[in-house]
Amino acid sequence: MDLERLRGKCGVCLQELPDALLSRCTQCGTSYHPECWEFNRRKCAVYGCWKSPFPKRPLGPPQRHADIFNPFVMAGMFVAVVALFAWNLFRWFQD
Ligand SMILES: [Zn+2]
Ligand SMILES: [Zn+2]
């Protein structure tokens, strides 16, 4: 974390900050304009400071081949097998 770079500057808009009227991250001490703090939904803009409970993973490259072990494919196959089994069971009790 390059906090020196942000010293005296707003962590959101990177403009120089006046000495007064600051919102300050309690974790890393980075200062913000109050409106920038609000704009950033009251979260620290410093990378790695604010820990999201649901971190966004970077999107991987698009898959060009069908991945048989894809959880969606596995779930679909599971549903198909269960449906086939239930249908056979239904036919069994019909006779
Ligand atoms: Zn700002
Ligand atoms: Zn912070």
Q: 48 C-alpha vs ligand 2 centroid, how far in Å?
A: 8
The answer as to whether 35 is a domain residue is yes
Pick the range with the lowest mean pLDDT from 7-11, 17-21, 34-38, 85-89. Answer: 17-21
Q: 11 C-alpha vs ligand 1 centroid, how far in Å?
A: 7
Q: 31 C-alpha vs ligand 1 centroid, how far in Å?
A: 9
Minimum-distance ligand to the CA of 16? 1
The answer as to whether 56 is a domain residue is no
Reported pTM = 0.45
pLDDT, one tens digit per residue, over 34-74 is 999 999 988 888 878 876 555 556 556 666 666 667 888 88
The answer as to whether 84 is a domain residue is no
What gap in Å lies between CA 13 and CA 40, rounded to an integer? Answer: 10
Structural domain range at position 29? 4-39
The answer as to whether 69 is a domain residue is no
Task: Please count the structural domains in the chain.
Answer: 1
Minimum-distance ligand to the CA of 40? 1
Q: Fill in the DSSP letter of residue 26.
A: T
Q: Are 36 and 13 in contact (CB under 8 A)?
A: yes
